[in-house]
């Protein structure tokens, strides 16, 4: 297990940490074909890799318009989110990553924790475009996520989508 990287962290250190986390996930998921085990492993590795990820986990796409919470690390979250609601719903609906530097300025944000200030939600898609889940990361720091986080998290989610296509 890695010692969590501390906030703030320069882009080179963050990129290196994402490489380390991706390597660790690759090793842990080698030969694993259970979806929930994979989601739990990714949530764990990301949560323990970065000390500013205060809610780290997945909402699973269980129908064309409903997400149900999956494995996560952090305080409690809503158990169900319709595609029509919240940042997670927007990511599910549009299949595009939602980068929210200030959740208080985002009219659709669902506040599961009063301490959250920024958020990123990345869709997990199969190579043929089927939505499996969304990865949700919340931080108490304002603007905790940027384009580097987006690119690295999208690569991790694309890898998951390929494994469970």
Interface with ligand SME (CB under 6 A): 55, 77-78, 81, 86-88, 109-110, 112, 119, 136, 138
Q: Which of 56, 81, 51 is nearest to 71 (CA)?
A: 56
In this complex, which beta carbon is closest to ligand SME, that of residue 16 or of residue 115? 115
Helix (H, G, I), strand (E, B) or coil at 114: coil
CA–CA distances in Å: residue 75 to residues 34, 112, 130: 24, 8, 29
In this complex, which beta carbon is closest to ligand SME, that of residue 45 or of residue 119? 119
Give the residue carrying structure tokens 């944000």.
Answer: 109
In this complex, which beta carbon is closest to ligand SME, that of residue 46 or of residue 88? 88
Least distance from C-beta 126 to ligand SME, angstroms? Answer: 22
Least distance from C-beta 87 to ligand SME, angstroms? Answer: 4
Residue nearest to ligand SME (CB): 86
Helix (H, G, I), strand (E, B) or coil at 74: coil
Q: Where are the beta strands (DSSP E) in 62-150?
A: 66-73, 80-82, 98-100, 118-125, 131-139
Least distance from C-beta 13 to ligand SME, angstroms? Answer: 26
In this complex, which beta carbon is closest to ligand SME, that of residue 29 or of residue 137? 137
Cα dihedral 113, 61, 94, 136 in deg (nearest 10): 30
- The encoded tokens of residue 126 equal 């199969």
In this complex, which beta carbon is closest to ligand SME, that of residue 9 or of residue 113? 113
Q: Which helix (H) or strand (E) holds 152?
A: helix 147-163
């Amino acid at each position: 297990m890695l010692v969590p990287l501390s906030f703030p962290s320069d882009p080179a250190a963050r990129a290196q940490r994402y490489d380390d986390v991706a390597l660790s996930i690759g090793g842990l998921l080698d030969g694993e074909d259970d979806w929930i085990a994979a989601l739990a492993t990714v949530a764990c590795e990301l949560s323990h890799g970065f000390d500013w990820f205060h809610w780290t986990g997945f909402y699973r796409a269980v129908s064309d318009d409903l997400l149900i919470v999956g494995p996560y690390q952090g305080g409690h979250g809503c158990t169900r989110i319709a595609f029509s609601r919240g940042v997670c719903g927007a990511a599910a609906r549009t299949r595009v990553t939602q980068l929210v530097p200030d959740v208080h300025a985002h009219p659709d944000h669902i506040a599961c924790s009063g301490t959250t200030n920024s958020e990123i939600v990345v869709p997990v898609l199969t190579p043929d475009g089927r939505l499996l889940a969304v990865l949700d990361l919340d931080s108490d720091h304002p603007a905790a996520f940027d384009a580097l986080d987006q690119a690295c998290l999208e690569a991790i989610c694309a890898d998951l989508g390929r494994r469970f296509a």
